[in-house]
Amino acid sequence: MSGIGATHIDHIVISSNNAAVVAETFQRNLGLEIKRTMTRPGTGAQLAFAKLQEVVLEFAGPPQPDPSAEVKARLWGLVLTVTDIAAAVERLRTLGYDVGEPKPAVQPGALIATVKSGTCGVPFALIQYNAIPTATPGVSA
């Protein structure tokens, strides 16, 4: 493998102090359709998602935004999809980059690993889908 087997940008994170308002602004200004909203398990962060072809825009914000605060957002981080996260992590570590252990992502069956060095200030992660077998509803062993 000459690279890490990255196939595409999985998602781009837009961080703000009010995810719902920022998502609504992007919907109004750019015509993006907000496909889904959710609360992140554990942290309670508010998330909204739009998708253009293969790339998801993730609008992230705190659990309880202050409605009186000026809404501020910024482009925050990038996640790339890889075909083999173990091999990708191993390659980057071999090259001297600091990469976290792959761990289960919010997306069912996916593993995600954070790249902690070399990214030029960009919070950066790799994700592999279908990395963990998931239970099929209605099917029992």
Partner 1 sequence: MLTKIHHVGIVVHSADEALKFYRDALGLPVTADKVIEDQGVRGVLLQIGNSEIELLEPTRDDTGVARFLANRGEGMHHICFESDDVAKELEAARDKGIELIDQAPRVGLAGMICFLHPKSNHGVLVEFATPIPGQHEH
Residue 140 interacting with partner 1 (CB under 8 A): no
Q: Which of 20, 27, 32, 84 touches partner 1 by CB under 8 A? A: 32
Residue 115's nearest CA partner among 131, 96, 130 is 96
- Residue 112: helix, strand or coil by DSSP? strand
Stretch that binds partner 1, among 2-10, 41-49, 106-114, 131-139 (CB under 8 A): 2-10
- 61/77 Cα distance (integer angstroms): 13
Look at residues 16, 59, 12, 54 and name the one whose alpha carbon lies nearest to residue 37: 59
Taking residues 73 to 92 in sequence order and writing x for each that binds partner 1 by CB under 8 A, - otherwise, the string is: xxxxxx-xx---------xx
- What's the CA gap between 113 and 62, in Å, rounded? 22
Q: Which of 29, 64, 68, 140 binds partner 1 (CB under 8 A)?
A: 29
3-state secondary structure of 122: coil
Among 35, 54, 100, 106, binds partner 1 (CB under 8 A): 54
Residues of this chain that interact with partner 1 (CB under 8 A) are 1-9, 12, 14, 16, 21-22, 25-26, 28-32, 52-55, 57, 71-78, 80-81, 91-92, 95, 97, 118-122
